[in-house]
Amino acid sequence: MFTLQELKRSALISLWFVFLTFPIMVVKVNSIEKTVQWRWMNVVYVLVGSFVLSLLFRYFLYRKEQQSGEDEQQGDNTGRSLIHRLLIVPKYRNMIYGVLLGTAVVFPFLTSSYQVNIMTTALMYVVLGLGLNIVVGLAGLLDLGYVAFYAVGAYSYALLNYHFGLGFWAVLPIGGLLAAMFGILLGFPVLRLRGDYLAIVTLGFGEIIRLVLENWGGFSQGPSGISNISRPGFFGIELSLEMAIVYIYYLMVLFVIVTIFLVNRLQDSRLGRAWIALREDEIACQAMGIDKIKTKLAAFSLGALWAGIIGVVFAAKTTFINPASFTFLESAIILSIVVLGGMGSIIGVIIGALVLILLPEYLRALSEFRMLAFGAILVCMMVFRPQGIIASIRRTYTYKPRNRDEA
């Protein structure tokens, strides 16, 4: 399986690793007692560990190459993953949906409110990921300032609640629409831009919104933020803290279901096809009669709509917001959810969000190595599955005259 040469290369890599990590892994200087401690055992650990890891890496690369060769021979161009194959069969599909829904419903009763809180956050990112997926995955417009719309939603609830005492349910649509309006506002100047240029402008837009919120003290109370935002009302009943957490959790489950339903419909609609055509070839797409302006603005505003709605939920959940919650890092995380999960694939984005948000939480056991492990997992993902966890597939149609059927 491994040739001598490969073993040699792995050995070299591990030696190199020992050399690189020598100062931090082996030498330990105690600056108080002025002694130096040599931990020679660590050399062995690093040597063996990196050797095994490097071999594993090679092995998986080898297997990946084998597999892609086989795929080409079979002429399997749809590239359906196991999940897609399961979801095609109605019996399995209903079973999977039932199990998922059941788990989601009983989850708060089985776990602590800490767990419920984390899960709510993860679900929020599912919706954010699905929203950004419209812009990035379907329409192919790289948006690095997505968090700006999230901020618009959050601040519209915080401010309307603070000044006018408006409730959660009243602001939910307002926040969404405001964000959608900002989406159009951003969309207009970037109509002509594509790729890197677009990414830079959207990045700038995201920063502008954050900086305005940070510096326009009279409007947004600056970096100190807005506190005491009311939680969502439940038919006028005051909920205890525990109850409120569970309530928001169920709200998010509902939002996720609605979002999946709507995004799925969008994707298979006339508009969804136009987005994908725009992503594939802008000139051909215009030549086929698609209005580029309308299509792009629709993508930006619809993507922003979801961010705005989740922004409102975020403000209501944490009851306190400040500009620090809306940094570029946030945009980057949402973008990695979409890329990691699989661009344009709904199931992929959902799994991506759950993995990316829950993994750091549950890796807490590894304490300071948490982010390191997280980074390693991300790198491995991109090497072995660049198309994302679940690659998107296109809907197929089986044609029967006068009687269409979904396949």
Q: Which helix (H) or strand (E) holds 198?
A: helix 195-215
Compute CA 249 distance to the chain's CA centroid, rounded to the nearest angstrom. Answer: 18
In 3-state terms, what secondary structure has residue 405?
strand
Structure tokens at 281: 């070839």
Please report the sign of the dihedral spanned by the C-alpha atoms of residue 118, residue 104, residue 130, residue 295: negative
**What phi and psi, each to the nearest 5 degrees, are found at residue 406?**
-90, 135
By beta-carbon proximity to another protein, the closer residue of 117 and 286 is 286
By beta-carbon proximity to another protein, the closer residue of 8 and 395 is 395
Structure tokens at 246: 């569970």
Minimum separation from the CB atom of position 43 to another protein (A) = 49
Minimum separation from the CB atom of position 267 to another protein (A) = 9
Minimum separation from the CB atom of position 387 to another protein (A) = 11
By beta-carbon proximity to another protein, the closer residue of 165 and 401 is 401
Q: How far is CA 279 from CA 134, 142, 274, 276, 285, in A?
A: 11, 10, 9, 5, 9
By beta-carbon proximity to another protein, the closer residue of 3 and 73 is 73
Residues that bind another protein (CB under 8 A): 77-78, 262, 265-266, 269-274, 276-277, 280-281, 283-292, 298, 302, 394, 396-397, 399, 401, 404, 407
Minimum separation from the CB atom of position 41 to another protein (A) = 52
By beta-carbon proximity to another protein, the closer residue of 55 and 134 is 134
Structure tokens at 309: 């709605």
Q: How far is CA 393 from CA 85, 94, 205, 330, in A?
A: 11, 20, 32, 28
Residue 190 has a CB neighbour count (10 Å cut-off) of 19
Q: Please give the Cα distance from 255 to 249 (Å, whole number).
A: 10
By beta-carbon proximity to another protein, the closer residue of 28 and 265 is 265
Minimum separation from the CB atom of position 341 to another protein (A) = 17
Minimum separation from the CB atom of position 285 to another protein (A) = 7
Residue 21 has a CB neighbour count (10 Å cut-off) of 15
